[in-house]
Amino acid sequence: MTTYFSRLDVQLQEELKKTAEAILASGKGILAVDETNEGIGKLLKNVGLENTENNRRRYRELLFTTPDLAEHISAVILYDETVYQKTDDGTPFIELLNKLNIIPGIKVDKDVTALFLSEDEMTTQGLDDLGKRCAAYKKQGCRFAKWRCPVKIGLNTPSVRAINDTATILARYASICQSEGLVPIVEPDVLLDGDHDIERAQKVTEVVLAAVYKALNDHHVFLEGTLLKPNMVTPGQGCTKKSTPKEIAIATRTALLRGVPAAVPGIAFLSGGQTEEEATLNLNEINKVQGKKPWILTFSYGRALQASVWQTWAGKDENLVKAQKELLKRTKANGLASLGNYEAGTAISAAGDETNYSANYKY
């Protein structure tokens, strides 16, 4: 077998690398606003609003027009519809974000479907037309993409087939993104679902990461122009033995050191159903753990930045400013946590201690 292959054009490598590094700006992280129309529809229903295009737009305008949002947010992950939406005054969302020096990105997977003949495992769809879609999003102003592959822990899962499927899909996605000039955020999400302990979660995370980076290497993905969005290593939601933030931090850092190459510039954790405060505390401890840390460690949160926003806004215009202040509380807290400087309990938010967990979670 030949080991000869072509590399990305040097100019494209530099572009991807610069975008990845810009997303990793010190004290900043990513705001994930990439819920599907169905997913945000459930949230709108909870505040008494219909799932219409305008109501979805109104909520996202609330987020993007938050004063000083860019102080702790470097990038935003959008959903397809949001790429083309505008503010009330007619400003395209992407133009608004660019003016704020916030980098726009796009969720490009088409959600999960059952992995045939598996034990309730999943595979992620959307590769067929990915190249064309990436080219179109780049033309609209997006500079990075995100693709999520959820992995379930059970008695006999994840299976080798599911792990290999996840790794291959993420590698093909990353390769296609880079070919069209988008930085791929690679998201293997080992779910909270289950009653497994932290040791099992750590081992599964290590195995999944090893498979993913082997596949990325096989597909000649330029690692310096990628980011990783993994789960933190935590016990399953049903586990009776809870772990402290320090235990979670040590298990997470250990798993990352065993599976993630130093060439990857940064890791932006998903919140995975943790409460707002848990996600902040755990990120803070992960950054405080002593030892080797070859990557920047920050956040890419959706629910853990917005739970209090939804509760405060409640679908009413008169609550907009209060809701924006809730968002700023959490972005500042996580910005500090990305530097290991957050003090527990200093960010008191409306839904800070309420669980964001949802079994079999879909965006």
As a whole number of angstroms, the distance between CA 241 and CA 211 comes to 28
The pair phi, psi for residue 107, each rounded to 5°, is -75, 125
| pLDDT for 61 | 98
Q: What is the mean pLDDT of the chain?
A: 95
Q: Which of 35, 187, 206, 277 is the catalytic position?
A: 187
Is the domain spanning 10-339 CATH 3.20.20.70? The answer is yes
Annotation says 187 is catalytic: yes
Half-sphere exposure of 93 (CA within 13 A, CB side): 27
pLDDT exceeds cutoff 90 at 160: yes
User: Which is nearest to 314 in space by CA: 339, 348, 281, 350?
Assistant: 350
Annotation says 276 is catalytic: no
Residue 345: C-alpha distances to residues 154, 193, 272, 277, 278 (Å): 34, 27, 20, 8, 10
pLDDT tens, position by position, 42-70: 999 999 999 999 999 999 999 999 999 99
pLDDT exceeds cutoff 90 at 2: no
| pLDDT for 231 | 98
pLDDT tens, position by position, 219-237: 999 999 999 999 999 999 9
CB 24 within 8 A of CB 295: no
pLDDT exceeds cutoff 60 at 363: no
CA max distance for the chain: 66
Residue 38 token pair: 């169905």
Q: Which of 28, 107, 229, 332 is the catalytic position?
A: 229
pTM: 0.96
pLDDT exceeds cutoff 60 at 1: no
| pLDDT for 361 | 59
The pair phi, psi for residue 229, each rounded to 5°, is -120, 85
